[in-house]
Amino acid sequence: MLKRSPLVLAAVALIALAGATVTAPDASSISMHYSSFLPPNNLQNRISAQGAGGLTQDQYNAVIDRMVAIYGPLIAAQGDVLVINRLWSDDTVNSSAERNGNQYIINAYGGLARDKTITQDGEALVLCHEMGHNIGGAPKYPGDWASDEGEADYFATTKCLHRIFADASTAQFTHSLVGADGNMAFARAACAQSYKSAADQAVCARSAQSGLSVTALFQELSGDPVPHFNTPDPSVVTQTFDDHPGTQCRLDTYFQGALCTKAYTVDMDDNDPAVGACVASQGYTVGLRPRCWYMPPPSEPSLTLPVASAAPARQTPSLAALRSADPFSGL
């Protein structure tokens, strides 16, 4: 059973059934909180500037349909409602999650789906990240309903993509060709070490490749170094970093989540980050949350040498420059 968060916040944007045509309310009149995939940005002009690319509307809808079909009943079973706002005509290059009463809301903006870097597998990861804000468990933003950014990324590949990619109807989803430089060979070898069955190995590799494709967007927008599976972020935080980590750190999180062999049917917990996750105290040595953003509790043994770093390598000046004057929380 999915755990129900005790905190309910008012929504920021429209609350509409999936597929409905909606009009955004005046944000100033609504109590606001977004948890999102990308940092705030003003990248709307990127859509017209780059030409054709990304998903068609049918491809975009197919990904959302799978998310609704899989997670709608799971959330309904606990007395709540999944709402995915299909904002295809909105050029916002982002996605976001909200809560409104018993509604778990995901805003799926067309601007991101139409970006040249996005495939259907990548869009699935984006939606899984937003689902992670809603049901990804601890660690959460302090005093908030939402799982923090690193946890939303970790949930996306430990739990959500396993459910999505195990569905045969997603076999024809478009996917990225990135990784021809050896990245995916490294990932597939790691997946083969973690999982015994060919099916599980395939889901692991596909999840890792989805992470690699979306971090290509992070890297392009931020100016961070190109990330690789075999060059993990060496940063070690002294307290959990709740905001968006840097590009390499996010790829590390997607990769470790994909390698985590804890059953995807074991839900995360709102209070105990060890429940549902791969943790050292349970004998796991791979699939753990990366230390570039996560500080485990004192009860957890550390598998990482203590490297002095109070904060992770995160947003570069070029990424900070993308932030718009009007705050908008994204991916």
* Percent residues over pLDDT 70 in the chain: 74
In the three-class reduction of DSSP (H, G, I as helix; E, B as strand; rest coil), residue 310 is classed as coil
Mean pLDDT for the stretch of residues 229-246: 96
Which two tokens mark 323? Answer: 């932030």
Q: Kindly tell me if the per-residue pLDDT of 32 is higher than 70.
A: no
Distance CA 192, CA 60 (A): 31
- Does the pLDDT of residue 152 top 80, yes or no? yes
What band does 276 get if pLDDT is binned at 50, 70 and 90? very high
In angstroms, the CA 194 to CA 24 distance is 45
Alpha-carbon distance 319 to 215, whole Å? 13
The total of other beta-carbon atoms located within 10 Å of residue 95's CB is 28
pLDDT for 104 beyond 80: yes
Phi and psi at 86, nearest 5°, equal -90, 90
Task: State pLDDT tens for residues 173-196.
Answer: 999 876 556 789 999 999 999 999
Asked whether 78 and 1 are in contact (CB, 8 A), the reply is: yes
Query: Between 52 and 106, whose confidence is greater?
Result: 106
Specify the pLDDT at position 193. 97
pLDDT at 321 over 50: no
Map out the domains of the chain as residue ranges: 27-320
- DSSP 8-state code for residue 128: H
Q: Where are the beta strands (DSSP E) in 66-196?
A: 81-87, 95-100, 103-109
Mean pLDDT of all residues belonging to the chain: 81
| 65 φψ region: left (φ > 0), alpha (ψ -120 to 50), beta (else) | alpha
Least confident among 222-226, 265-269, 279-283? 222-226
In tens, the pLDDT along 202-221 reads: 999 999 999 999 998 888 88
Rg (alpha carbons) of the chain, rounded to whole number: 18
Q: Token digits for 267?
A: 């839900």
Q: Name the 3-class secondary structure at 280.
A: helix
- Rounded CA gap, 46 and 111, in Å? 9
Residue-wise pLDDT for 61-90, tens only, equals 999 999 999 999 999 999 999 999 999 999
